[in-house]
Structure 1
Amino acid sequence: MADFNQYTRWEHQMHGVKLPRWDDLPKFDLYMDQVTALVNDALGPLGIDMVTPAMINNYVKHNVILAPVKKKYQTMQLTDILMISLLKPMFQTDTVRTGIDQITAGDYPKQAYDNFIEQLENRLHHLGEDQIQPATKNLNEKLMQVAVDAVVARLQSEKLLKLIKRPLRKIEKK
């Protein structure tokens, strides 16, 4: 019962999560250490793995994000790193990149990013409640909805697995 109470407390903590919108991000370019600090601070309340400079360099190397200009990252790159950090545990980075490109092809990057963050926050703020998903009007909206559902399901399952903490029984060999 204590584990279930811990889980419901975690759900309640998720009700207060506030993620940065496009306009909340710095209006000036950032160096790598500033980028990692910003991303890790923003996503820290979700309990996801921290972003490292090596990871970001790998994204640049594999053309998942645009290369920095004079070692400085702009808002578009920050939002890409935030999105990749949220979606990378479930999808390959090239799949995430394709999804971001698809969504932003039909909407401005700022609007697409803000819509994703708004949907994610809405789902987190209503964890533990029966929710009816809003109807989607097109495949891009459905893609965004499914991606948000995947992030939320991952966060929930990881929290539940941590709380259960039951050792697995070893299968005896005969």
Structure 2
Amino acid sequence: MKTDELLANAPHLPQWKELPDLALYMDQVVNLGNRYLQSLISVPITASMVNSYVKKGLMPKPIKKKYSQEHVASLILITIMKQVYSLDDIHEWLISNVQDNYQENYNSFCKAFNTAFADLDLHHFNLELHFDESSRAELALNLIIQTVICKIISEHLINEH
């Protein structure tokens, strides 16, 4: 993907007030989650994923098969984080960082994510295709290494408490 395409499709995680404030059925939650995260995920969210997250205690149980803003927010957080972290690490992070004031902590996560992405200088990464394969491979390798290092540090912080 070219830098301009990535910038044009820059993700925007919705704040709490942007989430629907009404009871939703499973298919609506899945469709909404996929719409919010379409530019961030390669594997679409499914109903079985949502059921698994509920079963593992990552999301609250639905009330009479209906899902709330908290469910949608949970689905967004889990889906983003599971690209890098295990479900156990996500569960630990949710319990220690989000659960007490879900709305405020969800908003903080989204604001930080949106700001970090907006502040990212994608041109710095030289994503255009005019670079040779060895330059692209070197950039990919450096990003992989940075990602792994950041994951190690953040896992340590998550599991430290």
- What's the TM-score once normalised by structure 2's chain length? 0.70
More deviation, 43-52/70-79: 43-52
Q: Distance in 1 between matches of 2:34 and 2:111?
A: 19
Residue in structure 2 matching 1:12, options 4, 7, 14: 7
Residue in structure 2 matching 1:120, options 113, 131, 137: 113
Tell me if structure 1 keeps the 8 A contact 2:11–2:114: yes
Q: Distance in 2 between matches of 1:57 and 1:99?
A: 20
CA-atom RMSD, angstroms?
Answer: 2.3
Residue in structure 2 matching 1:66, options 48, 60, 69: 60
Runs of 4+ in structure 1 displaced over 3 angstroms? none
Tell me if structure 1 keeps the 8 A contact 2:73–2:106: yes
Q: Specify the code of the residue in structure 2 equivalent to 1:124.
A: F
1:129: how far off? 6.5
Q: Specify the code of the residue in structure 1 equivalent to 2:118.
A: H
**Is 1:100 the equivalent of 2:127?**
no
2:49 counterpart SS class: helix
Residue in structure 1 matching 2:22, options 24, 28, 32: 28
1:100: how far off? 1.5
Matches within 5 A, 1:120-159: 120-128=113-121
Tell me if structure 2 keeps the 8 A contact 1:22–1:79: yes
Q: Distance in 2 between matches of 1:90 and 1:45?
A: 16
**Equivalent residue, structure 1, for 2:128:** none
Gapped runs of 5+ residues in structure 2? 124-142, 148-161
Tell me if structure 1 keeps the 8 A contact 2:40–2:80: no
Give percent identity, aligned residues only: 27
1:119: how far off? 0.7
**Equivalent residue, structure 2, for 1:171:** none
1:47: how far off? 3.9
**Is 1:87 the equivalent of 2:89?**
no
Q: Distance in 2 between matches of 1:69 and 1:101?
A: 21
Q: Distance in 1 between matches of 2:104 and 2:12?
A: 17
